[in-house]
Structure 1
């Protein structure tokens, strides 16, 4: 039995345009004190795991290899997806690659986590529960009424239910309640247990993923077979339906770095310059003045400038999607 850190690295980070592009998604941006989020993920989990397995896509697997090498990891497993089919299938590929009794510690590659005692305790508990046959998710103790995350309602390690991204009033009531946790997107389970549950709840995803996996050549999945796989998240496919679910309530510092609001907060905590009205510049040393603006970011790259009110950070995805159609060269 091995403990395998399955790193999911297929996303493009559209909410972080223009920094994040198809050719260099957010997990590969070296803007976290010279490190990438992908490298941080690999280093953070090395002490708990025997092996690293990366499930990425055909556009970014070379970036993963480069980051693994620079993090000093020479031996790793790799699955290269032909097209995005969501997390239920991505994790199924990893489970097919592993032995049934292997423990898969599944982590996104683009989260910022403070490793330390609390993180270590949570991971060790999750591995213990996974060895007992449970499907484990990590619930993060909320620090604010966040409307951009899903929530887990829990009593100790028992999951009472999953909640969609709430409105502000609901998020505030969750925070007040004290038994709601942010759904972190991190999981832990035996490979065989996950596949049993996936087959029971989503047989079509299971069968189509197995076919695509078995027809892979040198770790690269076939496009035609991959397109037959229904695109369903692991939450919908398994987590919200399995009776084997457990949650590890966790207090370690965590951010999904999913928007410029997260980037702003993180950079500010590191002492990045902010003017008296809370305005921040990223990507240029040109002297910049903000007049009549508050909590605004100016993000500059060689070919684009984004000016953004912090509270509109989630809407950057809409800009990305429009440019994908109108000016694809600006998102590639």
Structure 2
């Protein structure tokens, strides 16, 4: 079987890494399975993509489509043109896409128009917020997918509600947690740890990138200022996404305990998350990692495509409501945060299950 693996943005790399490792293990046992790794170049910043290949021991892509920046439409079109050429010269039996970024949707469309079957890893998740570009990507991708690899019973139920046959749904767990558990012993203390005199459970980690939180200057300023206020003097470590950095530089924040920095590598960032008192984020992936590491997590959104992190894990939705944010901080400071558990099959073996299913599907 010739498999094409697609990655385009930072979260994709963490999901692709264990799948490649599982494929290589099968190949060593004599399985007739080959893969070609396509990087669309959707994340073109070295801080967001380049170093991840080295840190996670991912083979260099067979091709980088070099899409770069642009509007949603421009990126989608560029990815589709580049990927169509890729499949023309390197035919595939199956295209595997992961997550919910623009590359996921665009490459799915191209594959299906070319008569190639698609497997979607992390299929079926839904936030219910059609205003999120990722939600549109999920809906389109799952409407075309042939094989659905899921992370939770919530995702399974969503797919069944759409009429997807159970025979096409494979509950395998969470490949991003495969990477987290494997790399946890290698987490690396960043240099800022000593520079800022940090210590475990004595600081916060903040991440923001969703348009609803970062595109309105005054709203962003008030949100960040409120978080710093409720941190009660503890450091707030804020690795700033490139799209947020431009806007943030125009704001007069001047908050002594707010420390803005360039995006960190995977090993350094998760070292900070693991040792933080809590994480404040609008990233779905960070909520998953925080849940598995039992770190309290406040999500600055009103809905989530990962409800298991709230129902089972350590995550709480606070939106950008000042009163709810303040109340949630009060619970944390009072030591009243809920005790979270780890969702079913988030055990580090999801990628092995995926490849085992592929072996059965294609009778390898």
TM-score range, shorter chain: 0.3 to 0.5
Q: Which of structures 1 and 2 has the larger relative contact order (alpha carbons within 8 angstroms, sep 6+)? A: 1
Considering fraction of residues, name the structure with more helix: 2
If the length of structure 2 is used for normalisation, what is the TM-score?
0.32
